[in-house]
């Protein structure tokens, strides 16, 4: 019997089994049923090519759910200027510093404040102005020589002042990297090479600088900034990281103060958070009512990460109840989902210690301290703690208690004002969102205090 005949006979048997046992036995796929799944299982809404799957049963809200992933992106930076909200003055300051003052820039701020999104938009604007832009993310093993070779490879030899435009080297497509010697590179070698750049400008963006733990790498970057500035090089650096990076760079070479702009990325204003939400509305097709926007703004407290997270989950909650308008109840549901998600990003030790602190009656104060930490790039001053615990002069003692008894806080090294910060960076978001959750749940013990200390949202019925 040929395989075709055997297969045909077996197919009849399989069809008979399907009739007798239903879904207990999977049907043999012959090509036309490749996309069939058990209806009890959840399914991917789209394909790997970012196309919504066509099943013949799609509704308008199914398409909304599919587009929510692009409307709010809490886990990814904003890459398109169409989705970029606010930050106009920040961008204007950065552009003027680079273009008019010829400064190198150090951006710093807490995680989730939007540094990487700013860098991507700055890079696009620089490319529009015909800058050559090199974007690099630093890591623990980032090596100065390797990074400089990669940067030099992106710069055509055409922009080297010693080579004529019609030279054979340029016509063969060589780059500045071809002029570098093999082996480890030194700062003077790189400085000499980049000092020869002409007829263009180069913007080198080093993101996540705080992940580069090598003191030698940081020292080399500081020396490079000094040399490039002294020689009026047409290559400028934009570095993004945490506040300590600026101090460390200056400590290596104090004289570079006049060569750099140290800029702390501020929290977003309520109007900028509202713009972020309206941008999301245009992408996904949902509408957020005024009360929902006000609640998201109050809880986000200027954090684009929290606003995007709540926007996405609130949108999904509205779709789940077959609504095209996001309301306050959807934001409440979004907070519940956000707490569950963020909890998984906090270490088991920190979860254990926060549970102990809450059991001892410190939950509300810790949540309000966390809110301050999110607003002030993680830095907590004694007088701020005074306001939270409502005991003037005892804020420092409270923070020390959180350090010694629970291990949640620790002093900032060499801080002249004696500031503290949370030991684990994910804890402030977790504590604050959880406190907001209890507020939405209507716990009377927290509601009155939160109403007093939250920036009050105002919803005008006829606005």
Whether residue 321 is predicted with pLDDT greater than 80 in this model: the reply is yes
Whether the Cβ atoms of residue 193 and residue 179 lie closer than 8 Å to each other: yes
Instruction: Provide the 3-class DSSP secondary structure of residue 418.
Output: coil
Rounded to whole angstroms, the Cα distance separating 369 from 102 reads: 39
* 248 and 375 housed in the same domain: no
Residue after which a domain boundary falls, among 202, 231, 264: 264
Residue 318 lies in a domain: no
Task: State pLDDT tens for residues 379-401.
Answer: 899 988 988 888 888 989 999 99
What pLDDT score does 187 carry?
A: 94
What pLDDT score does 209 carry?
A: 86
Lowest mean pLDDT among 35-39, 210-214, 407-411: 35-39
* 127 and 232 housed in the same domain: yes
Instruction: Provide the 3-class DSSP secondary structure of residue 203.
Output: strand
pLDDT-derived band of residue 114, with 50, 70 and 90 as boundaries? Answer: confident
Whether the Cβ atoms of residue 230 and residue 109 lie closer than 8 Å to each other: no
Residue 51 lies in a domain: no
Q: Which 8-state DSSP code applies to residue 268?
A: P
Task: State pLDDT tens for residues 2-30.
Answer: 545 544 554 454 454 344 444 444 444 44
Tokens in use for 29? 């796929």
Of 442 and 372, the structure prediction assigns the larger pLDDT to 372
Residue 307 lies in a domain: no
Q: What percentage of the chain has pLDDT greater than the value 70?
A: 77
Whether the Cβ atoms of residue 277 and residue 94 lie closer than 8 Å to each other: no
Whether residue 61 is predicted with pLDDT greater than 90 in this model: the reply is no
Residue 406 lies in a domain: yes
pLDDT-derived band of residue 197, with 50, 70 and 90 as boundaries? Answer: very high
Residue range 340-356: average pLDDT?
93
Residue range 48-60: average pLDDT?
59
pLDDT-derived band of residue 348, with 50, 70 and 90 as boundaries? Answer: very high
Host H or E run for residue 34: none
Angle 315-426-275 (CA atoms, 0-180°, nearest 5)? 35
| Domain that includes residue 222, residue range | 88-264
* 356 and 254 housed in the same domain: no
Residue after which a domain boundary falls, among 205, 238, 264: 264
Rounded to whole angstroms, the Cα distance separating 311 from 337 reads: 12
* 215 and 119 housed in the same domain: yes
What is the count of structural domains for the chain?
A: 2
The mean of the pLDDT values for the chain is 81
Whether the Cβ atoms of residue 108 and residue 238 lie closer than 8 Å to each other: no
Residue 93: Cβ-neighbour burial (10 angstroms; 0-12, 13-18, 19+): middle
* 225 and 365 housed in the same domain: no
What pLDDT score does 42 carry?
A: 67
Task: Pick the closest to residue 77 from 110, 113, 117 (CA basis).
Answer: 117
Angle 444-449-453 (CA atoms, 0-180°, nearest 5)? 145
Q: Which residues lie below 8 Å from residue 364, measured CB to CB, with a gap of 6+?
A: 435, 445, 446, 449
Rounded to whole angstroms, the Cα distance separating 162 from 164 reads: 7
What pLDDT score does 55 carry?
A: 57
H-assigned helices in 260-303: 270-284, 290-300
Residue 421 lies in a domain: yes
* 240 and 363 housed in the same domain: no
pLDDT-derived band of residue 226, with 50, 70 and 90 as boundaries? Answer: very high
* 215 and 113 housed in the same domain: yes
Host H or E run for residue 156: none
The phi, psi pair for 242, rounded to 5°, reads: -100, 170
* 100 and 229 housed in the same domain: yes
Whether the Cβ atoms of residue 302 and residue 375 lie closer than 8 Å to each other: yes
Task: State pLDDT tens for residues 255-313.
Answer: 677 888 888 888 888 888 998 999 888 888 889 999 999 889 988 888 888 999 999 99
CB atoms within 10 A of CB 66: 18
Task: State pLDDT tens for residues 29-48.
Answer: 444 444 555 566 666 666 66
Residue 119 lies in a domain: yes
* 254 and 403 housed in the same domain: no
Residue 132 lies in a domain: yes
Residue 191: which CATH number?
3.40.50.300
Q: What percentage of the chain has pLDDT greater than the value 90?
A: 40
Residue after which a domain boundary falls, among 209, 235, 264: 264
What pLDDT score does 256 carry?
A: 75
What pLDDT score does 145 carry?
A: 93
* 98 and 192 housed in the same domain: yes
What pLDDT score does 233 carry?
A: 93
Cα-based distances in Å from 201 to 15, 32, 117, 162, 194: 69, 56, 22, 16, 11
Whether the Cβ atoms of residue 230 and residue 271 lie closer than 8 Å to each other: no
Q: Which 8-state DSSP code applies to residue 108?
A: E
Residue range 104-132: average pLDDT?
87
Tokens in use for 417? 């004002």
* 245 and 352 housed in the same domain: no
What pLDDT score does 302 carry?
A: 86
Whether the Cβ atoms of residue 104 and residue 234 lie closer than 8 Å to each other: no
Instruction: Provide the 3-class DSSP secondary structure of residue 99.
Output: helix
pLDDT-derived band of residue 249, with 50, 70 and 90 as boundaries? Answer: low
Whether the Cβ atoms of residue 423 and residue 410 lie closer than 8 Å to each other: yes
The phi, psi pair for 457, rounded to 5°, reads: -85, 145
Residue 206 lies in a domain: yes
Rounded to whole angstroms, the Cα distance separating 317 from 84 reads: 24
Residue 8: Cβ-neighbour burial (10 angstroms; 0-12, 13-18, 19+): exposed
What pLDDT score does 18 carry?
A: 45
Which residue matches tokens 């208690």? Answer: 401
Task: State pLDDT tens for residues 68-104.
Answer: 777 787 767 666 676 777 788 888 999 999 999 999 9
- The residues facing 197 across adjacent strands are 160
Cα-based distances in Å from 265 to 135, 169, 225: 19, 43, 21
Of 54 and 427, the structure prediction assigns the larger pLDDT to 427
* 196 and 95 housed in the same domain: yes
Rounded to whole angstroms, the Cα distance separating 328 from 333 reads: 9
Tokens in use for 104? 């190198």
């Amino acid at each position: 019997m040929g395989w075709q005949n055997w297969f045909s006979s077996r197919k009849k048997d399989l069809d008979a089994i399907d009739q007798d046992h239903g879904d207990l036995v999977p049907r043999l796929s012959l090509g036309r049923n490749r996309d069939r799944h058990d209806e009890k299982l959840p399914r991917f809404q789209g394909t790997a090519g970012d196309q919504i799957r066509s099943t013949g049963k799609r509704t308008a809200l199914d398409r909304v759910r599919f587009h929510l992933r692009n409307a709010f992106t809490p886990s990814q930076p904003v890459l398109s200027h169409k989705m970029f909200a606010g930050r106009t003055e920040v961008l204007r300051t950065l552009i003027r510093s680079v273009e008019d003052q010829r400064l190198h820039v150090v951006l710093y701020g807490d995680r989730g404040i939007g540094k990487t999104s700013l860098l991507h938009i700055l890079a696009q604007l620089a490319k529009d102005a015909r800058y050559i832009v090199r974007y690099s993310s630093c890591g623990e093993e980032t090596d100065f020589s390797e990074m400089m070779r990669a940067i030099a490879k992106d710069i055509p030899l055409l922009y080297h002042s010693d080579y004529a435009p019609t030279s054979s080297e340029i016509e063969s497509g060589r780059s500045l990297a071809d002029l570098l010697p093999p082996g480890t590179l030194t700062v003077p070698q790189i400085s000499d090479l980049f000092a020869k750049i002409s007829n263009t400008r180069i913007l080198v963006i080093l993101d996540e600088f705080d992940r580069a733990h090598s003191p030698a790498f940081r020292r080399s970057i500081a020396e490079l900034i000094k040399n490039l500035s002294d020689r009026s090089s047409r290559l400028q650096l934009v570095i993004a990281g945490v506040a300590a990076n600026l101090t460390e760079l200056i400590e290596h070479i104090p004289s570079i103060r006049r060569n750099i702009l140290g800029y702390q990325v501020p929290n977003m204003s309520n109007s900028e958070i509202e713009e972020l939400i309206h941008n999301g509305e245009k992408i996904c097709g949902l509408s957020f009512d005024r009360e929902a926007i006000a609640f998201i703004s109050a809880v986000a407290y200027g954090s684009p990460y929290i606003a995007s997270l709540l926007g996405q989950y609130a949108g999904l909650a509205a779709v789940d109840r077959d609504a095209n308008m996001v309301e306050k109840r959807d934001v409440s549901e979004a907070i519940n989902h956000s707490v569950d998600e963020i909890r998984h990003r906090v270490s088991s030790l920190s979860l254990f210690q926060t549970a102990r602190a809450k059991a001892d009656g410190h939950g509300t104060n810790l949540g309000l301290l966390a809110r301050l930490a999110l607003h002030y790039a993680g830095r907590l001053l004694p007088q701020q703690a005074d306001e939270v615990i409502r005991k003037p002069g005892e804020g420092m003692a409270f923070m020390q208690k959180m350090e010694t008894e629970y291990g949640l806080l620790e002093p900032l090294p060499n801080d002249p004002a004696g500031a503290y910060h949370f030991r684990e960076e994910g804890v402030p978001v977790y504590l604050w969102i959880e406190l907001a959750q209890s507020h939405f749940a209507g716990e009377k013990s927290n509601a009155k205090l939160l109403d007093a200390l939250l920036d009050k949202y105002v919803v005008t019925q006829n606005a």
